[in-house]
C-alpha cells in the first residue's frame, strides 16, 4: 500500500492573488469574518474555512504611511471549528511518521475544539498600534458581535499581516484560515521605483496544511490539525501559497518583487530556488525584512532563505535572461522540528520523512513571453535606519528571558514550552539560572538569575519606559528554534551567540529554572550561530536557535499600554509561551 496516496499533482493551479483593498485616504472599512468553502487544490474537494471577507488569505490591505484606517471587524462566523483536531500515534502503518501523511492515522477527533463556536480577536502583526486596538488575546468578540479598531499606519513601509490571536486557540483559528496581508507604503520606497501591486509585485503567504481522508483513502478536503504524543507542534505535509497547494506562477522575463510571509503554525521554511536541478540564487536580492527596507540589498544565504513562523522577506527575482518556457522551482529544505542546523542546498527537492517533510515542493515559476527588461535594485535602500553602535547599548536596562521545555507531569501529555522571566538573584535561591560569560581578557563574569514568572497570567514584571532603549536577552534552554515576536515597535537584533547549556536532572520545575549557560562557548552542534545579512535590518520576530543566546534592542517610542511578546510557533504560544509587558510614559513611572 502506498502511504503517500492520495498524492496531489504539484504545479497545476495558478498562484491566486488575494483581493486588494487600496486605501488612499483615511477611511473606515469593514472586514467580515465568515464561514465559507475554499478550494486548496484543483483535485481536492472544497474545504470549510473561517476566513476574513470569505478569502484565504483575507483581502490585502494596502495603505500609505500616516493614513489612518478604522477597521470594523464583524464576526459572522458560525461554528463548529472547521478543523478536525487529533493526536495520533507517532508512526502510521509502515513506520512512517503520522505527520507526513493525510488522514487521522488512528487518532481520535478531539471533542473540545469541535465545540468552538467562533470567538475571535484580530491582531495586526508588525504594526505600531495603540494598545486598545492591538488585539489583546483575551478581548474577544463572539459570533454576531463586532468591534472597531484604529490603525495609524505611521511607520516605515513594510509587509504586515493580520491574524487571529485568541488565548489558547490561536493555532486553530489561524489554521482554519483567519489571516491576511497588510502593506504599508512610503515615499522612500516610491523613490526606489520598486514594483507596486500585481502583476510585478506579488505576495506569497506560505502555510502548511493537512486534510482528512474518507474510508477509501481519498482526501475529503476537511482541514486536519494533527499532532503526535512526542511532537506538540502541527507540521502538515501540504504547503499552500496564497491558499493554493504548490501553485505555479507565470512570469515575464523581467524583475518581480515577492513579499514572502511564513504564515504556518509551526513549520520553518528554508527556501531554495533551483533551475535544472541546481540552486540558482544569484538572480535573487533580498531588499527588506519584517520591519521594511534593509540598508542595502543582500544575497540570499547560500543554503537558502530561512523563514520561521511570522518572518517576512521582501525579495526581487530577475528572470530577464531566461527563455520562454524556462521553469524554476522553489523548494523547502528545512526539517521539522527546526533547530537552526545547516542543510545542503544541493539536496533541495528530496523528501525527508524523519524531518517531517514528505513533499518539499513550494512553488514553480514558468517564464512566459513579455517585455525583456532588467531593473536592478539601487545600492542604497533605507536611509532612515542605522545599526546601533556600542555607545548606544551602554547603560541600557537588560532583561533576561529563558525559553524552557517543562515535561508534563501527566503521562502521555507532550512537554510544555514556556517563557520564564528572570530577575537578578543573590545566589541564595537553589533554583537560579547561572549565566557565565567570558569578559575582556581571561576573566569570567558569572551572574545568577532567579525566575519571577513562568505563566502568562503570572504578575507583570516588564514595565519598559517609553522612549528608553532596553536590551532583552533571550536564552534558549530547549533543543529547537523559537521565533520570538514582540508586539509594537520593531527591534534590532544585536547579537546571536552560541552557548553551552547544562540542565541538571530536575532543574526545570514549575517555578524554578536551574541551569548553567556558558555564553560564547562553541556548542559543537553544527549550527551556524551568527547573524545573517538579512537579519541586520528591523525585525519583529527573531529566531532563537538551540544552544543560543540572542540579544535584541527594543525601544517603545509611541504608544503606552499593555502588549504581549511570545513565541510564534502557535502551538507554543497557546500553551503559555507568551507574556505581557506594559509600556509606561516616564512621567507616570513615579506613581507606579
Ligand atoms: Cu516556541
Distance 80 CA to ligand 1 centre (A): 27
Q: Is pLDDT above 60 for 5?
A: no
- Mean pLDDT on 343-364: 94
CA distance 517 to 514: 10
Residue pLDDT, tens place only, 477-518? 999 999 999 999 999 999 999 999 999 998 999 999 999 999
Q: Is pLDDT above 80 for 92?
A: yes
At residue 2, the pLDDT reads 47
Which grid coordinates belong to 545? Answer: 536557535
Rounded percentage of the chain residues whose pLDDT exceeds 90: 88
* Mean of the per-residue pLDDT values of the chain: 95
Distance 416 CA to ligand 1 centre (A): 10
CA distance 226 to 236: 8
- Mean pLDDT on 205-231: 95
Cα atoms in the Cβ-side hemisphere of radius 13 Å centred on 64: 9
- How does DSSP classify residue 584? B
Do 306 and 286 form a contact (C-beta atoms < 8 A)? no
Do 539 and 291 form a contact (C-beta atoms < 8 A)? yes
- Mean pLDDT on 166-173: 97
More confident residue, 375 or 65: 65
Distance 399 CA to ligand 1 centre (A): 19
Which grid coordinates belong to 554? Answer: 527594543
Q: Is pLDDT above 90 for 58?
A: yes
Distance 9 CA to ligand 1 centre (A): 33
- Mean pLDDT on 78-93: 94
CA distance 549 to 473: 7
CA distance 277 to 297: 26
At residue 4, the pLDDT reads 54
Q: Is pLDDT above 90 for 139?
A: yes
Distance 366 CA to ligand 1 centre (A): 36
Residue pLDDT, tens place only, 542-584? 999 999 999 999 999 999 999 999 999 999 999 889 999 999 9
Q: Is pLDDT above 80 for 3?
A: no
Distance 214 CA to ligand 1 centre (A): 33
Query: Of the candidates 80, 88, 79, 90, which has an alpha carbon nearest to the alpha carbon of residue 109?
Result: 88
Q: Is pLDDT above 80 for 77?
A: yes
Distance 163 CA to ligand 1 centre (A): 18
Rounded percentage of the chain residues whose pLDDT exceeds 70: 98
Distance 572 CA to ligand 1 centre (A): 5
CA distance 556 to 462: 12
Distance 575 CA to ligand 1 centre (A): 9
Q: Is pLDDT above 80 for 28?
A: yes
- How does DSSP classify residue 508? B
In Å, what is the CA distance from 376 to each residue of 255, 285, 367, 486?
8, 9, 19, 33
Distance 456 CA to ligand 1 centre (A): 14
Distance 567 CA to ligand 1 centre (A): 5
At residue 477, the pLDDT reads 97
Q: Is pLDDT above 80 for 76?
A: yes
Q: Is pLDDT above 70 for 72?
A: yes
Residue pLDDT, tens place only, 284-340? 999 999 999 999 999 999 899 999 999 999 999 999 999 999 999 999 999 999 999
What is the secondary structure of 348-370 as a DSSP string? TT--BTTTTBS--EEEEEEE-S-
- Mean pLDDT on 452-468: 96
At residue 440, the pLDDT reads 61
Helix or strand holding residue 111 (H, E): helix 111-114
421 bridge partner residues: 401, 453
At residue 255, the pLDDT reads 95
At residue 415, the pLDDT reads 83
pLDDT band at 1 (very low <50, low <70, confident <90, very high): very low
pLDDT band at 259 (very low <50, low <70, confident <90, very high): very high
CA distance 92 to 98: 5
Sequence-ordered alpha helix ranges (H) in 505-577: 570-573
Distance 392 CA to ligand 1 centre (A): 30
Distance 475 CA to ligand 1 centre (A): 12
Amino acid at each position: 500500500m502506498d502511504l503517500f496516496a492520495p498524492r496531489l499533482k504539484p504545479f497545476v493551479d495558478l498562484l491566486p492573488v488575494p483581493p486588494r483593498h487600496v486605501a488612499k485616504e483615511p477611511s473606515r472599512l469593514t472586514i467580515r469574518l465568515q464561514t465559507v468553502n475554499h478550494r486548496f487544490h484543483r483535485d481536492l474537494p472544497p474545504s470549510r474555512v473561517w476566513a476574513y471577507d470569505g478569502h484565504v488569505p483575507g483581502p490585502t490591505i494596502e495603505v500609505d504611511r500616516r493614513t489612518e484606517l478604522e477597521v470594523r471587524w464583524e464576526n459572522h462566523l458560525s461554528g463548529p471549528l472547521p478543523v478536525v483536531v487529533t493526536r495520533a500515534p507517532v508512526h502510521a502503518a509502515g513506520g512512517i511518521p503520522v505527520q507526513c501523511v493525510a488522514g487521522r492515522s488512528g487518532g481520535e477527533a478531539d471533542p473540545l475544539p469541535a465545540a468552538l463556536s467562533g470567538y475571535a480577536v484580530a491582531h495586526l502583526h508588525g504594526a505600531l498600534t495603540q494598545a486598545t486596538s492591538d488585539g489583546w488575546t483575551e478581548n474577544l468578540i463572539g459570533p454576531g458581535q463586532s468591534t472597531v479598531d484604529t490603525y495609524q499606519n505611521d511607520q516605515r513601509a513594510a509587509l504586515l499581516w493580520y491574524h487571529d490571536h485568541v488565548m489558547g486557540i490561536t493555532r486553530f483559528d489561524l489554521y482554519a484560515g483567519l489571516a491576511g496581508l497588510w502593506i504599508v507604503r512610503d515615499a522612500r520606497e516610491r523613490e526606489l521605483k520598486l514594483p507596486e501591486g500585481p502583476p510585478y509585485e506579488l505576495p506569497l503567504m506560505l502555510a502548511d496544511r493537512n486534510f482528512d481522508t474518507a474510508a477509501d483513502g481519498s482526501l475529503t478536503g476537511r482541514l486536519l490539525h494533527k499532532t503526535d504524543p512526542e511532537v506538540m507542534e502541527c507540521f502538515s505535509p501540504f504547503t499552500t501559497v496564497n491558499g493554493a497547494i504548490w501553485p505555479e506562477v507565470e512570469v515575464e522575463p523581467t524583475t518581480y518583487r515577492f513579499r514572502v510571509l511564513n504564515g504556518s503554525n509551526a513549520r520553518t521554511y528554508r527556501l531554495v530556488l533551483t533551475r535544472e536541478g541546481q540552486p540558482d540564487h544569484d538572480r535573487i536580492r533580498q531588499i527588506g525584512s519584517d520591519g521594511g527596507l534593509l540598508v542595502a540589498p543582500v544575497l540570499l544565504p547560500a543554503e537558502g532563505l530561512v523563514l520561521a513562523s511570522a518572518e517576512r522577506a521582501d525579495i526581487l527575482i530577475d528572470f530577464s535572461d531566461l527563455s520562454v518556457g524556462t521553469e524554476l522551482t522553489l523548494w523547502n529544505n528545512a526539517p521539522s522540528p527546526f533547530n537552526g542546523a545547516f542543510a545542503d542546498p544541493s539536496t533541495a527537492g528530496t523528501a525527508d520523512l524523519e524531518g517531517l517533510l514528505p513533499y518539499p515542493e513550494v512553488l514553480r515559476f514558468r517564464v512566459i513571453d513579455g517585455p525583456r527588461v532588467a531593473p536592478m535594485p539601487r545600492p542604497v535602500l533605507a536611509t532612515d535606519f542605522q545599526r546601533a553602535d556600542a555607545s548606544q547599548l551602554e547603560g541600557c536596562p537588560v532583561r533576561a528571558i529563558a525559553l524552557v521545555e517543562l515535561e508534563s507531569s501527566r503521562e502521555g501529555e507532550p512537554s510544555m514550552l514556556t517563557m520564564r522571566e528572570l530577575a537578578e538573584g543573590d545566589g541564595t535561591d537553589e533554583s537560579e539560572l547561572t549565566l557565565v560569560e567570558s569578559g575582556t581578557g581571561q576573566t569570567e563574569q558569572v551572574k545568577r538569575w532567579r525566575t519571577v514568572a513562568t505563566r502568562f497570567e503570572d504578575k507583570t514584571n516588564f514595565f519598559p519606559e517609553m522612549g528608553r532603549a532596553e536590551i532583552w536577552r533571550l536564552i534558549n534552554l530547549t533543543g529547537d528554534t523559537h521565533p520570538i515576536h514582540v508586539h509594537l515597535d520593531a527591534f534590532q537584533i544585536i547579537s546571536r551567540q552560541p552557548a553551552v547549556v547544562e540542565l541538571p536532572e530536575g532543574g526545570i520545575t514549575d517555578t524554578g529554572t536551574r541551569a548553567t549557560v556558558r555564553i560564547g562557548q562553541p556548542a559543537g552542534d553544527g549550527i551556524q550561530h551568527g547573524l545573517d545579512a538579512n537579519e541586520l535590518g528591523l525585525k519583529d520576530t527573531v529566531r532563537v536557535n538551540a544552544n543560543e543566546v540572542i540579544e535584541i534592542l527594543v525601544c517603545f517610542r509611541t504608544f503606552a499600554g499593555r502588549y504581549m511578546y511570545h513565541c510564534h510557533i502557535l502551538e507554543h504560544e497557546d500553551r503559555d509561551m507568551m507574556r505581557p509587558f506594559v509600556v509606561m510614559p516616564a512621567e507616570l513611572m513615579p506613581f507606579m
